[in-house]
Amino acid sequence: MVEIRTYGPWAVVTGASSGIGRAFAEQLAASGLHLVLAARSTDRLETLGAGLARAHGIECRVVTVDLGREGTAEEIVQATADIDVGLLISNAGTGMPGRFLDQDLADMHRRLTVNATAHLDLAHAFGRRFADRGRGGMVLVSALGADHGLPNMAHESASKAYVHSLGGALHYELASVGVQVMVLMPGNVDTPIMDEFGIDRASMPIRPLPAHVAVREALAAFLKGRAKHIPDRKMRAIVRLLPHKVSMRANGRMLGRAAQNLAERRAA
Ligand SMILES: NC(=O)c1ccc[n+]([C@@H]2O[C@H](COP(=O)([O-])OP(=O)(O)OC[C@H]3O[C@@H](n4cnc5c(N)ncnc54)[C@H](OP(=O)(O)O)[C@@H]3O)[C@@H](O)[C@H]2O)c1
């Protein structure tokens, strides 16, 4: 069986300071891959990197970068120019529940840069590098809501739809040059983003999946050569069975409540 270690020796993980990205870093390090950890929180990345290097005898490099600013993905490309990267986990992302018309446009542009443009820049740069070395892998982290849009998170789901579509196409297009691409579509993974969004876990249709379980599933799906993966068997069943209108209304209500929770928290 192919092991994720064969995609090394180095892997780049964006958004590695928390949640799904952190779980990727932990599992890749345990497999023996050297890591480049990228996000804005230098302290968290350095603490994580030092712990993983000690525990697994790997090398770690930290890149502090704000991917919400145009062109900054290039800083990751430059910082890895001297090492042999074979795997990209393009995971950093963000969001803000609330009514579309109430949101600040400049803020939405910044979130579009993190959620879409940074994935484009990284997929292009590392795609070329992987094609040149004749082998490589990419996991592009989108979102379940990318499939159909989410009321009260219209902008984020639209930005994630770009990644969904890009990765879905690249899965086929880059296979001929030895580059394997998978889109990950989380919808209910238990990470700090849920608290940041003001989401009440009790209001979710099923209990959120721990991040390490979602990532274990994702890596298994990647190694099987899947084009996309939705973490959690129960979530996959809901997606298959729930009528579109019911799903849109339920998600819109849940995210509307989340926006209200956030507003109350800010006012307190
Ligand atoms: N959890 C879910 O159920 C769910 C659902 C749908 C989509 N997703 C997607 O899954 C991915 C991981 O999210 P998560 O749930 O693990 O959330 P999380 O715990 O909040 O992690 C988000 C990561 O992205 C990084 N990030 C955010 N803005 C950034 C910026 N401007 N520049 C660089 N890094 C930035 C954060 O690091 P810093 O703050 O240190 O920069 C953090 O490491 C995201 O793309 C998210 O949209 C998750």
pLDDT tens digits, one per residue of 40-64? 999 999 999 999 999 999 999 999 9
Q: Judge whether residue 225 has pLDDT over 80.
A: yes
Amino acid at residue number 170: L
Q: Judge whether residue 1 has pLDDT over 80.
A: no
Q: Judge whether residue 203 has pLDDT over 90.
A: no
Q: What is the CATH number of the domain that holds 136?
A: 3.40.50.720
pLDDT at position 12, please?
98
Judge if the beta carbon of residue 66 lies within 6 A of ligand 1: yes
Q: Where are the beta strands (DSSP E) in 53-206?
A: 60-64, 85-90, 136-141, 179-184, 189-190
Nearest CA to ligand 1 atom 33: 39
Gap between the terminal Cα atoms of the chain: 54
Judge if the beta carbon of residue 141 lies within 6 A of ligand 1: yes
What is the band of 197 on the pLDDT scale with cuts at 50, 70, 90? confident
Q: What percent of the chain has pLDDT over 70?
A: 99
What is the band of 195 on the pLDDT scale with cuts at 50, 70, 90? confident
Cβ-proximal residues to 42 (8 Å cutoff; 6+ apart), any chain: 62, 64
- The answer to whether 138 and 86 have CB atoms below 8 angstroms apart is no
pLDDT at position 2, please?
66
Question: Pairing between strand 209-210 and 10-14?
Answer: unpaired
> What does the pLDDT average to over 83-90?
98
Amino acid at residue number 39: A
Amino acid at residue number 123: A
Give the pTM.
0.97
> What does the pLDDT average to over 60-71?
98
Residue of 75, 193, 203, 206 to mutate, ligand 1, most atoms within 8 A of C-beta: 193
Cα of 92 from ligand 1 centre, angstroms: 5
- The answer to whether 188 and 209 have CB atoms below 8 angstroms apart is yes
Q: How many domains does the chain have?
A: 1
pLDDT at position 205, please?
79
Higher pLDDT, 1 or 65: 65
Q: Judge whether residue 82 has pLDDT over 60.
A: yes
pLDDT at position 265, please?
86
Q: Judge whether residue 9 has pLDDT over 60.
A: yes
113 CA: nearest ligand 1 atom: 31
Average pLDDT of the chain, as a whole number = 95
Domain that holds residue 163: 4-267
Cα of 191 from ligand 1 centre, angstroms: 9
What is the band of 140 on the pLDDT scale with cuts at 50, 70, 90? very high
Judge if the beta carbon of residue 97 lies within 6 A of ligand 1: no
pLDDT at position 172, please?
98
Question: What tokens does 102 get?
Answer: 């109430």
Q: Judge whether residue 235 has pLDDT over 70.
A: yes
Judge if the beta carbon of residue 231 lies within 6 A of ligand 1: no
